[in-house]
Structure 1
Amino acid sequence: MKRILFLTTVPPHIIQKYVSDDDWSNDMLPAHLSKRGASVTIKRWTDEDIITTILDSDLVTFLWAEDYIQHPVAFREFLETAKKAIEIDRNGANPPCVMNHIDLVKWNMDKSYLLDMQRAGFDIPTTEILDAEQFSSPSALHQRLQMFQLSGSVVLKPSISASSNNTRLISDISALSNDDTAYLDSCTKGDLQSSLVIQRFEPAIATGEYSFVFVGDRLSHVVLKSPKSGEFRCQPQFGGLLCPQPINTIEERTLSMVNTIFDTLRMWFGKGSTGKMGYLRIDGLVTDETAFILMEIEAIEPCLYLELEGLQEMLSLLLK
């Protein structure tokens, strides 16, 4: 019987509610795994005995740890502690496999990874990342933003965030609204709990953002996420629509670029001292001029749209 541990962030009573409602993210993966004979445990990475539980597991996954962004410092400390414990336990008979492994999770939790991808030769939106708390006032931060771009639209977000959490579109950086100024004020006061990501707004978002979902070593399926009219965020909670896209309808130039991104990540992170890379979601835009503008890589707790496709592949991967 394979012992599979799902790390989570939510309090125990919330875990029990989800268990009783059979309402799991990623298409009820724990329930499906249990039905196939796995011993499934759901436990908070903040629990005092979590390292013991990890070492007593065969497979550990972050697929249900989405709220880690609320505790970035503690989560990073947990990753370091868990990595050391697993590396020491490597001399044991059956050390746990973490999927995705801890080095990949550490790299992916901060959006500064986008700059690594840019250095590797991939297109990303024009991006800068800085410490907003070094600025004494919203006006001082505003002056710095205008060094990035004098006028026009920019997108601001925490470097540790998910699902457009605390993300703001400033329509014209040369003419801030009161709400824009309030957002900058919160940034200077440390409300982001991480660095500030500044990006040039990509108008192509109006036609939708593509999510390429990889399970194991192959592209499993593609979803187009389209924002509602007047919105730049494409998640369903902001009115976005999801539409599966047959892989054979994606332009060859785009598929080639996305597969090259995946191959690069597999070269960097295919295996680590704590486990292996098992799943990824690669998000981006397609324009007439550019085959693929990389917007995000999700390797921790992504929505993989398994309710649409890829569930059997994921179950096979976790039960292998």
Structure 2
Amino acid sequence: MTQIAILTPAADDPAYKSHWPVVLERLSKALAMVDVTTVPTAWTDHVRDASGLADYPLVLGVLTWGYYERHSDWLAATKLWGEAGVKIANPAPVLGWNSDKAYLRRLEAAGIPIPPTAWSDQVTQDEVDAAFDRFGTDTLVVKPTVSGGAWKTVKLSRGEPLTDAPDGAAMIQPFLPELVANGELSLLFFGGRFSHAVMKRATAGDFRVQVQYGGGYTHVPEPPAGAVALAERVLAAIEEPLLYARIDMVEAADGWLLMEAELVEPDFYLSQAPDGGRLFAEAVRARLSSEV
């Protein structure tokens, strides 16, 4: 059996205490199919000293939920892991740049369609008022560029004051009614190969699709060709080698739009994967074999 490390939330972070062990069990069960065992270790224990990760043939950063609340530590850690040669997947530089949604600007410049977005260093009421007119909408979504799981994401109607603005860089986007009507589609890739697709839908009266807000997830046996094509374009636009990727998108009036390319700590929804995560496990085994 080969033993690898999986980075988990900080030990003193209560937000995900009841959830991440469940996801870790799913990952571990899948990896057991290829004779790989896992050792959980909090990512915050390796911010200033990478020696605790040095002996592992592979480190996965897939459970570092909550990193956005300690983003300066996260960036310091990913820089250290890269310089120390930690065998981490996805690559340490990817874990750094993908932790700030400003990367969407680079993908948009490469021709990837994203929702109309106004970028701000610090959102003001004037910027919000201007965005309503710019986008021709009566509803906006404002969210930090460094966040996860809809953290500090707010939905505003025209005329409603901005009372809980994100602190620091943020995105202002028109609310996409398709997100509620049709849901957000996630396509999972392991080792560059498509694994499975999941449609996430918000509960009645909410716009957030995450399970912690009551969202529901459904396996999509045959994702639309346009969605698959967009996901493949996104992956092709990313130069670094990826062990895993979750591409989140919404079908709007003009076609599929990329919401996020989740390359840091996405839930893989392995409970929805028809193969139980075997493709993920095989990608990990292939990566381990390439390191020999």
Query: Aligned runs of 1:1-320 on 2, under 5 Å?
Result: 1-11=1-11, 23-25=21-23, 27-30=25-28, 32-33=30-31, 37-47=35-45, 50-86=49-85, 96-132=86-122, 141-150=124-133, 152-172=138-158, 175-176=159-160, 180-184=161-165, 187=166, 190=167, 194-206=168-180, 207-247=182-222, 250-265=223-238, 268-270=239-241, 277-290=242-255, 292-309=256-273, 310=275, 311-320=277-286
Q: 2: distance between equivalents of 1:24 and 1:229?
A: 26
Q: 1: distance between equivalents of 2:234 and 2:31?
A: 30
Name the SS of the counterpart of 1:84 in structure 2.
Answer: helix
Native 8 Å contact 1:22 1:28 kept in 2: no
Greater shift after overlay, 147-156 or 55-64? 147-156
What do residues 78-108 of structure 1 show as CA deviations (whole Å, max 9, x unaligned)?
111111111xxxxxxxxx5211011111121
Cα distance, 1:230 vs structure 2:
2.7
Q: TM-score w.r.t. structure 2 length? A: 0.86
Alpha carbons of structure 1 residues 12 and 171: separation in structure 2 relative to 1, 3 Å? closer
Q: Gaps spanning 5+ residues in structure 2: where?
A: 287-292
Cα distance, 1:205 vs structure 2:
0.7
Q: 1: distance between equivalents of 2:42 and 2:244?
A: 21
Name the SS of the counterpart of 2:74 in structure 1.
Answer: helix
Alpha carbons of structure 1 residues 32 and 288: separation in structure 2 relative to 1, 3 Å? closer
Name the SS of the counterpart of 2:163 in structure 1.
Answer: helix
Q: Point out the structure with max Rg over C-alpha.
A: 1
1:279 maps to a residue whose letter is Y
Quick one: percent identity of the two aligned structures? Answer: 25
Q: 2: distance between equivalents of 1:117 and 1:22?
A: 30
Native 8 Å contact 1:5 1:40 kept in 2: yes
CA RMSD of aligned residues (A): 2.5
Cα distance, 1:278 vs structure 2:
0.5
Name the SS of the counterpart of 1:183 in structure 2.
Answer: coil
What do residues 14-67 of structure 1 show as CA deviations (whole Å, max 9, x unaligned)?
8xx88xx99431553235546854353222222268511221110011011112
Q: 1: distance between equivalents of 2:33 and 2:200?
A: 31
Name the SS of the counterpart of 1:47 in structure 2.
Answer: helix
What do residues 203-243 of structure 1 show as CA deviations (whole Å, max 9, x unaligned)?
21121110011111211111111122332111122222211
2:9 maps to a residue whose letter is T
Native 8 Å contact 1:2 1:319 kept in 2: no
Native 8 Å contact 2:64 2:265 kept in 1: yes
Q: 1: distance between equivalents of 2:61 and 2:20?
A: 19
1:318 maps to a residue whose letter is V
Native 8 Å contact 1:43 1:50 kept in 2: no
Native 8 Å contact 2:97 2:103 kept in 1: yes
Q: 2: distance between equivalents of 1:256 and 1:34?
A: 32
Cα distance, 1:147 vs structure 2:
2.5
Q: 2: distance between equivalents of 1:58 and 1:6?
A: 12
1:284 maps to a residue whose letter is M
Alpha carbons of structure 1 residues 34 and 241: separation in structure 2 relative to 1, 3 Å? closer
Q: What's 1:93 paired with?
A: none
Native 8 Å contact 1:125 1:201 kept in 2: no
Alpha carbons of structure 1 residues 3 and 27: separation in structure 2 relative to 1, 3 Å? closer
What do residues 288-320 of structure 1 show as CA deviations (whole Å, max 9, x unaligned)?
431x11111111110111111151111222233
1:159 maps to a residue whose letter is T
Native 8 Å contact 2:33 2:281 kept in 1: no
Q: TM-score w.r.t. structure 1 length? A: 0.79
Native 8 Å contact 1:208 1:285 kept in 2: yes
Native 8 Å contact 2:31 2:278 kept in 1: no
1:80 maps to a residue whose letter is K
Alpha carbons of structure 1 residues 156 and 279: separation in structure 2 relative to 1, 3 Å? same
Name the SS of the counterpart of 2:66 in structure 1.
Answer: helix
Cα distance, 1:154 vs structure 2:
0.8
Name the SS of the counterpart of 2:162 in structure 1.
Answer: helix
Alpha carbons of structure 1 residues 13 and 40: separation in structure 2 relative to 1, 3 Å? farther
Alpha carbons of structure 1 residues 5 and 155: separation in structure 2 relative to 1, 3 Å? same
